[in-house]
Structure 1
Amino acid sequence: MQLSNISTSRALQVFIRLPEMLSALGSQMEPPDLLSCILVCRLWYDTMLPRLWHSIDDTKNSFPKILSLHDSDAAKGDKDEAWVLTIFAKHGHFIRHLTTRTKVVIKAVSLSGTCTDLVSFTTKSLVFGLTLKEREEQSYMDDLNRNYHESQDQAQGGPIISPLFMGVMRPGAPGARTLEHQDQDWYIAQHFWLIIYQNRSLRQLHLDWSLETLFRVTSKTFAYEMVARLKYLERLEDGLVLFQLGRLLDVVPHLLHFKASYYHILDMSTFTKQRQQQYCSLRTLRLDEYVATENMLRLLHHLPSLDELYIMQLLRTNDETVFRKGDGDDKAILHSTPSRLKMLTIYRTLFEFDWLFNTVFLPRLPSLTEFRTHTLHPETSRALAVHCPKLEVFRQLGHTDTIHPNYTSIIKGSIELTPLLEGCPNLKIVDATHHMIIANRLLSSNDAPWACLGLQHLRCQITGIDRLTMQEQSELDKAADSVEQQAVMEKYTRSQYQQRQIYQRLAGLQHLTTCDLGFEYRQVRWLKTKVGHERDMYSIGGKEYIRYTGPIYDTLDLSLDSGLYQLASLKRLEVFGFEGVFHQIGRRELQWMATSWPRLRVLRGLHEDKMTMVEPDARRNELREYMRGLRPDVRHASLVVDDSQHSWPKLLAVRDSDEAQGHQDDEWLHRIFVKYGAHIRLMEIHCSAMFAFANRSGTCINLRRIAVYDLNDGETLKDVAESNLIMFSEPGDGGRTLDETNSPGEMGPLLSPLLENVFEPKEAMWRTVTQQRRDWMSHQHLWLLIRKNPSLCSLQLDYSLHHLSTISSVEFFYSSMALLPNLVEFQCDGVMKGLGALLESLPRLERLASCSGFLDNAVPYKTFTQLRELNAWVDFSSRDFFLLLKRLPNLEYLHCTGLREASDDNFVDAQGVLDNTPSSLTRLQFEIGNDITDKQMATYLMPWLPRLTEFVDTELRPLTIAALRVHCRNIERVGQLRKAYAYYPERGCRPQVNELNLLLRTCPRLKSLDRIRVQVEMHELLAYPWASTSLERISCQVSGVTRLTKSERATLKQLEQVSENDGLELSKEEERVLAKASQSREQQRKIYDRFGSMKNLKLLDFGYDYGQLVDMETGQYLGHYGGSIYKDFMHLAAPIKDTLELNLASGLSRLGGLLELEVFGFDGMDHCIGKAELAWMVDHWPRLKTVRGLQLEEFDGSRRKQKKLELRLHLRALRPGCVFAGRF
């Protein structure tokens, strides 16, 4: 007991002295946890409070409840409007990101006078932010039945609170607001603009359309002047002002992203007046507007740096002849530089794209890589193939249409994909379920091969096959003694030829992972009916069914006889679909698929029918069960109805609705589990109702893994609606008082005598009585399910289970664990009563993990030999750490937060518990860092870890490195978690002390060294030979290389142009430059030779992302500049100079032996890589997949970005699959 008190006291001292640790913890916490932390002590308050107020969103946590009641009588003197104003005045200076939908927050932020450092300001729909009192008053006003014109008149306004607002806006329409609320809203409207006026550091601004209920802007000049003040504005979303794009970019030329939600025709008047004006900053543009084709051309001309463009709908052009002739003022557009646009989205297409789009607009897009639209017609498909050679992705928007003639949603016009497949060599994805490949056109196109041999994802429908009718099929088996029978034979031969040719085309796409050749066309709402009649129905055995009509007839029959065997080359195929296809797949074909496609995971076409009132298909069910016998791992799903696991949340969310009754309701789910429960081995659960279905089925007794995730994500829509009703209603009118909310919830019946006195109900909160009882029973179902499955090997329990009820019986918990003798992996995201008791209950447990500090007593009371891995958010005292190693003698992996501060005497005493027996740890990771000194780590810890192969810490200090090489001779991997330091001596940042050369020269088994934030001095790197020849991954910054200045490079270039025979005498300066250049090349070649001797290298990273903000005094890393304030931090915007040049002239070719290299990095270096170097890399590094250093960053200047783009395009042309990525 006394020892425990001492340990607790020391822990408190550690936290009191280490605000950095608290800050690091706070960055990972949610607001409710931060709120609890600030109540601990003054230091915790001062450290955690800025983090708590850093991002405020009044739609989350306790804000909705508080703000919905702040104007009620019950809130007076407590959390009323005065309280809201006070807390924002007190803490507003901490806020950097503000998201609001309530008027009182707008008022509080403006009046605070302290909230002036906002980085983002987002408004959401004010309709959902009304208080209960406002809702009641609006309901009363609606009952007065005021006519429409009165509700749309101008509302009553009040006084102007600032000269800024004189004559620039007017009150919004009164709607159903009282006169009092109209006055208040006019006041709030002015405060809204004051927030923007007071925050010139804003980078993101979202003006929601619902602000129109408060005011209407009458002076556009005012709106432009307000945004012009925002010198750092990068992202603007506007649903309020109706900004003219050209004029907006005139006043905010640095804007990067703009979204306009107007649903009008695009206003191009500003662009029309300034035809040659260009705005080079804008990168993404989303216009929920209707845009004419000629205006699309003008957009590209005025926005040359645009990467992504989204428009709602394309309008037919009005002045096509002007662009045809190429005269008039628009002639310059036709001769301007092609656009760099990479992604184009046109949501709606009500007609075929016109001549101007296909022949003038698309040729301006040579860099286009992704095109998304609703319907792609052949002319546009051919234009894409000709003018957009880099196209990689075509996606169809919307999946409600079909090519089936019996449905009203049938696509009209030609929608053939063949030109796209024949003309786009870089195509990777074609996701177009209602588009077609027509057989006859495919085979009559002069046998043009498909160019997209790298295609990975194909969804379309193949039609136009000459398939035999049922009668013709019966005639086929007879002797060909008549003209009709000969005609049938000729048709059959033609059909077989067509299908074999198509299979041959598909077989050439050997990179395919998804091949969907059909689509589920059966949708009741689109099914055609006779005039004046309901759906065509029929009855069988007294049951009625809808006549959906048959499948699409002229498709592939997908039989082996027709040539399906040719697709055996698709060894990477994971998804194969034939929904809606008139196929002839039988057992032979399924057996062939099971053996020929080893990676097959999803089959679409044999899944259980879930259409409304559809007749069961016995043949389909038989084939599905047969395939399950052959390949149990293959899932049967539908692209529309049951596409992947995401259909479960949708199904469970509406299972208790009226629509689901008698179809996919609780009874149906129960039958599903009863029928298939015995086959289930793995259950991953977000919905608590699944516990009941699985337990009650009586068949789910063969589970190997149960994983419970956040149950809040699994509530039904009905539950959410009922809870919201309680939350936003007054007591006595369906709502609850605070005491009622905090009172214990209702308990349901006990499902088993085993559960008596085991669970305690949670607070009622805003759950209905029915929900409370159901939650109570769901927790019981889970534990009964666990106890029924002694074969469980893996169990994961999320903290959200505590929202159902809590386990009050420790004996029940551990007795349940004792029923799981095969449990190997356990994660319990909650509080347990001790590690020892758990390990005694689970004799085979090898891996134990948690996310929230789950161990009340982290050290077991006796020795347990089974545990191999322990991952816990726990910091250990020195004694507890050594005691843990002793009592877990076979522990191989330990991940914890760190070691607490301790004296040398404490360490000496703690070492005695090990009885001179070294630990078996092979992997040790410290998440946050250690409070012990470098000397203590090296002297008292490392000698006990002789088997260590991996060591990861936030900071690697010199004595620890020396101890690693002395005591941990088997060390293979040394890693570094993110630490707040970067090497940048030119800017005054403090580099870490480097002793890595000790590791390299003394650890012969070292395979991975990741210390990218640490510099390695060139002379230290070359001073000694490296002991390890098996390095596979190394990341570090090489510094201290002699490099020429800009003027010296110019001098050297002039000297190299002078012939040796000219006999010119060199000046002393020129001789010095030549000597320095020679020294630099000699240094770099030695470095290349050293790294080039590591023949097993797969990753070689010399650079680090220097585009970060660093504290000017300490050099501490404070995050990327996108979310910070310039006045507080310094922005590093130039590469590090004294590093390798990485060009062929400096000796890069000496790395030519690195044939295994997959990742090469030079981010943040002053390198000299050009096109010749990239070509050399492609030739000599055949496995190169990732290049770090050419990714585009927000802090890149225009020249640097242009250079990167040129190098990226060149490398992509040489190796299309290469990825450009940063380190994080």
Structure 2
Amino acid sequence: MKADTIFDLPEVLDVLGTLLPQGTLYRCIQVSKIWHATFIPHLWRTFTERSVQQSKWSRDLFFAIQAQINDPQNLEWYKDVYRRHAKYIRHLTICTPTILDACLDGTFEQLRSGSYSENVSIRSSGTTTTKPASASTAVNDVGGSLMTNLESLDLNILNHTIAFYFQMQLPGGSFGQSSTSVFTSTGFGTSLSDANTNNITGENNNSSNSTNNATTNTTLATTVTAASLSPLDTEKAFVKACQRLVLNNPRLRTLSSVYSMKILQDFEGGVGSVLRSLKSLVCVPTDGLIPGVLPPNVTHLKLISSFSLHLNSHSFASRGPGTTALVHEGLKSLEVDCVESATHIKGLLTQTPSLQTLSINTFLSSSGFGGDFATADPISVVISWPASQITVLKCKQTRDAFSSSYGFEDFLSCFPLLVEYHDEVWFPAIGAQLAKYCPLLEVIRIYQAASEFHSFATDRNPWHRPKGLPVNDSVSTLLTGLTRLRILDIRYEAIKAENILETPWVCLDLETFRCQIAEVPFLTDEEEQQVQEIRQRETQATSSALEYIRTDEEDALIALSERCVHTREVIMAQLSKLTSLKFLSLSPDFKTGIDLFGSHFNPKRVYKSERDGRSYIRYDDVMPDTLYFRLKYGLHQLASLTKLEYLSFESMDHRMETADIEWFASHLPRLREMRGLVTEAYVGMEPDPKNDALVALIRKLRPDVVQNQSLSRYLSYYSKYEH
């Protein structure tokens, strides 16, 4: 049949399917038979049981299974859905063994029948040994798999979930639970959603025959109880099923599970004989260190903790004489969930001499940072850090780790080749170490975000900088010491203005600059008025051929005024040298970091306007000791920033006039977004006709420049508090 449009050509639709999200794909399969047949493989390409990652169609499928779970025949129909689409799955994340039960035919039958004895022998001592699995036995003797194209596999399953799964249907009971034990498997919902299961399954009316056959063959098995089986037996059966799945997917590149090492350790001939495609592995550490046997081509490893794992910082520090941790030359990237001491991290670095990227998700300090899992005592030995090849270091939850954990004082000394540093928090000690030990550093990113809904400040959700409080400048040492720095993103830290005047920056290739500049001298409104009056009196005296003699107070005020201008001109001159700059943010909007509306009757927050007598909310986070974007303060020097695309000066007292706006419009050709002028979403804020006129002018002169604000997505929630 001739296609009416290009959207009737399966070849074109197939290309589009690789670009669409699952929600869109689900709607596409309901358009026509051609679209249905074309997009179903793409819809099932990624299948996950994790609730935070699920799309609506997969949640509907789980809800439908849960609603029909009391009827084994209906349950088998839904399991057959898995079987019919297993060939399409490339990325699989599971929280229950259901899909393995469906797609690895017969893998759990021995367990259900109570005859789980094959490949298991019991020694006279009472211990059990399992016969190693090989690729040939898994594929030929044990059986194949309906899933053979997997690229990533995430087995997010705990042992109690496996045990409960095999408490199968009892008279009057439910699948997945015994009649006396109430347990709902992770990943299943509690009610039936409005799901069109015909669309989900991708089958036409002729699918009923295969469904009935599958139901006839397997209904009996699902009604057999295995209540007497021990958790050890069920876990072994699950591991064996996972081995079978892994061996039948030769293109598997990523394996993630607390059972990863159990799945890999029993392969006959070694892991390297069957898993050459595996590049990324997530597993549980061995005594806090990297397991001894890994697939040969694994380059990325993540060590995770589990409920049954309890790290002991002394276990890897005192392994006994003659014991040496195995070295893994091939690992390029290592991610560690938990580091308890300096000795622990040293042991990991010793095992990975070729490591390039290190990610540390949690530091547990000697003072107990990290909760109940922080059991390590400080190790009273001097740490000799091994030099490493690491170029990228990513940390999380490091607050107080370097300052309170013994041995971390010179932690960064082992990263002389470091190029990128990422962290969630920032404190001065890190800045000093980076400048001292990491001369090749190019990227510093601190993912420290202010909380939108909390009324208190934390290490990760800081308050705005209080007015008058001295600044602890830990950033200048980076700008004056790291010549290769390209990205500096530390939005809640501040640079002292006097430090910029004293020492010029050496990182002239900066492309991203996100940091505050503070302690710039300024005049209050009253002082500015006094300066104007002094200037007028001097002008009048000069025109009358008279000499005007200032008082000491007037001399001090004029000197301060000149210092305000000079300081800002020097800072503007320093910024003008950053000719590669594309992203410039000199002040974050701290309104997201404080609770304006927790108590909106607070007199410090509400005031009456002298203009109209109405009550308004006072936004008091605007900092006066910052730059002014005024031509008379050196703004014209920024004309050299011809590559600038983003400019933010929120929470700054910019003091712009019409001439300054006209300069912005004509001298920054690549500018695409500006933040700092628009205040439309600030609930209860007093209207400012002067600022509104500036916004209208820049929009008229440069309609291509988006005038944005940080709070447009959040303050609407508080519209009920508007006065």
User: Which residue does 2:212 correspond to in 1?
Assistant: none
State the shift of 1:462 in Å.
Answer: 0.5
State the shift of 1:660 in Å.
Answer: 6.5
State the shift of 1:455 in Å.
Answer: 0.6
Helix, strand or coil: the match of 1:505? helix
Q: Does structure 1 residue 194 correspond to structure 2 residue 194? A: no
Q: Matches of 1:474 and 1:32 in 2, distance apart?
A: 66
Q: Matches of 2:26 and 2:294 in 1, distance apart?
A: 41
CA contact (8 A) 1:307 1:340 kept: yes
Quick one: which of 270, 281, 298 aligns to 1:236? Answer: 281
Quick one: which of 485, 488, 510 aligns to 2:557? Answer: 488
Q: Does structure 1 residue 471 correspond to structure 2 residue 471? A: no
Q: Matches of 1:412 and 1:104 in 2, distance apart?
A: 60
Helix, strand or coil: the match of 1:499? helix
User: Which residue does 1:361 correspond to in 2?
Assistant: 411
User: Which residue does 1:205 correspond to in 2?
Assistant: 255
CA contact (8 A) 1:377 1:414 kept: no
Q: Does structure 1 residue 427 correspond to structure 2 residue 490? A: no
State the shift of 1:394 in Å.
Answer: 0.8
Q: Does structure 1 residue 436 correspond to structure 2 residue 494? A: yes
Helix, strand or coil: the match of 1:585? coil
User: Which residue does 2:651 correspond to in 1?
Assistant: 580
Mark the CA change 1:484 to 1:551 in structure 2 (over 3 Å): closer, same or farther.
Answer: same
CA contact (8 A) 1:406 1:528 kept: no
Instruction: Give deviations 1:511-558, integer Å, cap 9, x for gaps.
Output: 111211111112474469999968732345675433332511211222
Q: Does structure 1 residue 246 correspond to structure 2 residue 289? A: yes
> Which residues in structure 2 correspond to 1:12-27 (within 5 Å)?
none
Return the letter of the residue paired with 2:578. Answer: L
CA contact (8 A) 1:242 1:262 kept: yes
Q: Does structure 1 residue 107 correspond to structure 2 residue 150? A: no
User: Which residue does 1:602 correspond to in 2?
Assistant: 673
Q: Does structure 1 residue 311 correspond to structure 2 residue 370? A: no
Helix, strand or coil: the match of 2:686? coil
Return the letter of the residue paired with 1:311. Answer: I
Quick one: which of 247, 255, 258 aligns to 2:301? Answer: 258
Helix, strand or coil: the match of 1:70? helix
Helix, strand or coil: the match of 2:338? strand
Return the letter of the residue paired with 1:225. Answer: Q
User: Which residue does 1:940 correspond to in 2?
Assistant: none
CA contact (8 A) 2:329 2:353 kept: yes
Q: Matches of 2:388 and 2:465 in 1, distance apart?
A: 40
Q: Matches of 2:349 and 2:575 in 1, distance apart?
A: 37
Q: Does structure 1 residue 404 correspond to structure 2 residue 454? A: no
User: Which residue does 1:381 correspond to in 2?
Assistant: 431
Greater relative contact order, per chain length (Cα 8 Å cut-off, separation 6+): 2
Q: Matches of 1:538 and 1:106 in 2, distance apart?
A: 64
Q: Does structure 1 residue 322 correspond to structure 2 residue 322? A: no
Helix, strand or coil: the match of 1:432? strand
Instruction: Give deviations 1:843-865, integer Å, cap 9, x for gaps.
Output: xxxxxxxxxxxxxxxxxxxxxxx
CA contact (8 A) 2:471 2:518 kept: no
CA contact (8 A) 2:641 2:668 kept: yes
State the shift of 1:288 in Å.
Answer: 3.1
TM-score by length of 2: 0.65
User: Which residue does 1:461 correspond to in 2?
Assistant: 516
Q: Matches of 2:19 and 2:707 in 1, distance apart?
A: 40
Return the letter of the residue paired with 2:506. Answer: A
Q: Matches of 1:99 and 1:195 in 2, distance apart?
A: 15
Q: Does structure 1 residue 504 correspond to structure 2 residue 564? A: no
Q: Does structure 1 residue 70 correspond to structure 2 residue 65? A: yes
Q: Matches of 1:386 and 1:439 in 2, distance apart?
A: 22
CA contact (8 A) 1:107 1:192 kept: no
Quick one: which of 391, 407, 412 aligns to 1:342? Answer: 391
Return the letter of the residue paired with 1:322. Answer: V
Return the letter of the residue paired with 2:434. Answer: L
Deviates more, 1:256-265 or 1:481-490: 256-265
Helix, strand or coil: the match of 2:568? helix
Return the letter of the residue paired with 2:100. Answer: I
Q: Matches of 1:490 and 1:272 in 2, distance apart?
A: 66
Mark the CA change 1:543 to 1:281 in structure 2 (over 3 Å): closer, same or farther.
Answer: farther
| Identical positions, percent | 24
Q: Matches of 2:494 and 2:87 in 1, distance apart?
A: 59
TM-score by length of 1: 0.40
State the shift of 1:437 in Å.
Answer: 1.2
State the shift of 1:305 in Å.
Answer: 2.2
Q: Matches of 1:66 and 1:550 in 2, distance apart?
A: 49
User: Which residue does 2:711 correspond to in 1?
Assistant: 641
State the shift of 1:206 in Å.
Answer: 2.5
Mark the CA change 1:618 to 1:50 in structure 2 (over 3 Å): closer, same or farther.
Answer: closer
State the shift of 1:261 in Å.
Answer: 4.7
Return the letter of the residue paired with 1:470. Answer: D
State the shift of 1:467 in Å.
Answer: 0.9
Structure with greater Cα Rg: 1
> Which residues in structure 2 correspond to 1:605-1004 (within 5 Å)?
605-638=676-709, 640-642=710-712, 659=717, 662=720
Deviates more, 1:509-518 or 1:520-529: 520-529
Deviates more, 1:355-364 or 1:383-392: 355-364
User: Which residue does 1:948 correspond to in 2?
Assistant: none
CA contact (8 A) 1:416 1:438 kept: no
Return the letter of the residue paired with 2:419. Answer: T
Q: Matches of 1:308 and 1:182 in 2, distance apart?
A: 47
Q: Matches of 1:88 and 1:185 in 2, distance apart?
A: 28
Mark the CA change 1:591 to 1:402 in structure 2 (over 3 Å): closer, same or farther.
Answer: farther
Mark the CA change 1:91 to 1:289 in structure 2 (over 3 Å): closer, same or farther.
Answer: same
Mark the CA change 1:558 to 1:51 in structure 2 (over 3 Å): closer, same or farther.
Answer: closer
User: Which residue does 1:552 correspond to in 2?
Assistant: 623
> Which residues in structure 2 correspond to 1:507-546 (within 5 Å)?
507-523=576-592, 525-526=594-595, 536-540=605-609, 544-546=615-617
Mark the CA change 1:455 to 1:184 in structure 2 (over 3 Å): closer, same or farther.
Answer: farther
Q: Matches of 2:420 and 2:427 in 1, distance apart?
A: 16
Q: Matches of 2:685 and 2:575 in 1, distance apart?
A: 33
User: Which residue does 1:925 correspond to in 2?
Assistant: none
CA contact (8 A) 1:439 1:465 kept: yes
Return the letter of the residue paired with 1:509. Answer: L
State the shift of 1:629 in Å.
Answer: 2.2
CA contact (8 A) 1:557 1:584 kept: yes
Return the letter of the residue paired with 2:289. Answer: G
Q: Which runs of 5+ in 2 are unaligned?
A: 4-8, 107-142, 184-224, 367-376, 451-460, 539-548
Instruction: Give deviations 1:471-529, integer Å, cap 9, x for gaps.
Output: 32222231562111111112222222222221121111111112111111124744699
Q: Matches of 1:27 and 1:568 in 2, distance apart?
A: 44
State the shift of 1:453 in Å.
Answer: 0.9
User: Which residue does 1:873 correspond to in 2?
Assistant: none
Q: Matches of 1:196 and 1:87 in 2, distance apart?
A: 20
Helix, strand or coil: the match of 1:434? strand
Q: Matches of 2:237 and 2:631 in 1, distance apart?
A: 73
Q: Matches of 2:673 and 2:42 in 1, distance apart?
A: 45
State the shift of 1:368 in Å.
Answer: 1.4
Q: Matches of 2:656 and 2:637 in 1, distance apart?
A: 15
Instruction: Give deviations 1:75-94, integer Å, cap 9, x for gaps.
Output: 9597x222345565677577
Helix, strand or coil: the match of 1:348? coil
Deviates more, 1:394-403 or 1:623-632: 394-403
CA contact (8 A) 1:235 1:256 kept: yes
Q: Matches of 1:556 and 1:223 in 2, distance apart?
A: 60
